[in-house]
Structure 1
Amino acid sequence: MPSISSVPQGYTAVTPSTTTAAKAPGVATDALGNPVRVPKQTLDKDAFLQLLVTQMRYQDPSSPMDTTQMMAQTSQLTTVEQLTALVTSSQAAFASQQQLSSAALVGRQVAWTDPVTEVTGSGAVSAVRFTADGPLLRVGDADVPLSSVTGVTAPAAS
Structure 2
Amino acid sequence: MSVPATEAVTPNGMYRSPTTTTTGSNSDKEMFLNLMVAQLRYQDPLNPADSGEFLAQNAQFTALEKMQDVADQTAALLAAQISFGAAGMVGRNVTYLTEDGGTASGVVSSVTYDATGPRLTVGDQSVSLGQISSISAADPATDPATDPASEPSTSTAPAV
Report the counterpart of residue 82 of structure 2 in structure 1. 98
Report the counterpart of residue 123 of structure 1 in structure 2. 106
TM-score, structure 1 as length reference: 0.68
Report the counterpart of residue 12 of structure 2 in structure 1. none
Q: How many residue pairs get matched?
A: 118
* 1:59 partner SS: coil
Q: CA deviation at 1:134?
A: 0.9
Alpha-carbon separation, structure 2, partners of 1:41 and 1:141: 40
Report the counterpart of residue 47 of structure 1 in structure 2. 31
Alpha-carbon separation, structure 2, partners of 1:46 and 1:86: 20
Alpha-carbon separation, structure 2, partners of 1:79 and 1:57: 25
Q: CA deviation at 1:84?
A: 1.9
Alpha-carbon separation, structure 2, partners of 1:87 and 1:54: 30
Report the counterpart of residue 155 of structure 1 in structure 2. 138
* 2:48 partner SS: coil
Report the counterpart of residue 141 of structure 1 in structure 2. 124
TM-score, structure 2 as length reference: 0.68
Unaligned runs of 5+ in 2: 1-22, 142-160
Report the counterpart of residue 15 of structure 2 in structure 1. none
Alpha-carbon separation, structure 2, partners of 1:136 and 1:145: 5
Q: Which has the higher strand share?
A: 1
Unaligned runs of 5+ in 1: 1-39
Alpha-carbon separation, structure 1, partners of 2:76 and 2:106: 29
Q: Which has the higher contact order (CA 8 A, sep 6+)?
A: 2
